[in-house]
Amino acid sequence: MFKKKVTYQYPEKQRKLYRRFHGRHWLARYEDGLEKCVGCSLCAVACPAKAIYVEAGENTEKARYSKGERYATVYEINMIRCIFCGLCVEACPTFALNMSPEYELSEYDRDRLIYTKEMLLEKYPGEMNKKYPWD
């Protein structure tokens, strides 16, 4: 109460993030390129805002997308509804869904705030070998 207020000049200087910060979602892959998501929909069940939609499909010998029997044919997260609680990450049994420290998620078009599977499988900026903002 008796401390001087701190004002950050935002674009030039950003505040330090906490280690447990929940930012943009992303889906992980194995080193061989297969998806970790097996389409179990546990993340969708755990989401209190009902922001996640998953449709599962069967892997075949000709088309293998994940190491399990199934994979997510459709995976969408509605970021307008998401409350960034992280319950979906905790519910994932294969550690496929993660949250990055990226927090600048604004868009001018509402349709771009529904993240598709392709958008989530992209490596978020600096996923590999990035010095996190809290280091």
Burial of 115 (0-12, 13-18, 19+ CB in 10 A): buried
* Residue 16, pLDDT above cutoff 60: yes
26 phi/psi in degrees, rounded to 5: -155, 150
Determine the pLDDT at residue 128. Answer: 46
pLDDT band with cut points at 50, 70 and 90 for residue 133: low
The Cα–Cα gap between 64 and 71 comes to 9
pLDDT digits (tens, 9 = 90+) for 65-103: 999 899 999 999 999 999 999 999 999 999 999 998 888
Q: Is the dihedral of CA 12, 15, 17, 23 positive or negative?
A: negative
What is the rounded average pLDDT of the residues 27-55?
94
Residue among 94, 110, 87 at smallest CA distance from 22: 87
Statement: residue 126 has pLDDT above 80:
no
Shortest CA distance to 27 belongs to which of 68, 70, 77, 85?
A: 77
**Please, what is the average pLDDT of the chain?**
87
Q: What percent of the chain has pLDDT over 70?
A: 90
Find out whether 92 and 43 touch, Cβ atoms under 8 Å. yes
Angle subtended at Cα 49 by Cα 86 and Cα 128, rounded to the nearest 5 degrees: 30
**For the chain, which domains are there?**
32-119 (3.30.70.3270)
> What does each C-alpha distance from 41 to 3, 85, 112 come to in angstroms?
47, 17, 22
* pLDDT tens readout for residues 113-123: 999 999 999 86
pTM for the whole structure: 0.82
Q: Quick one: pLDDT at residue 135?
A: 46
| Cα 108 from Cα 98, distance rounded (Å) | 25
pLDDT at residue 42 in the model: 96
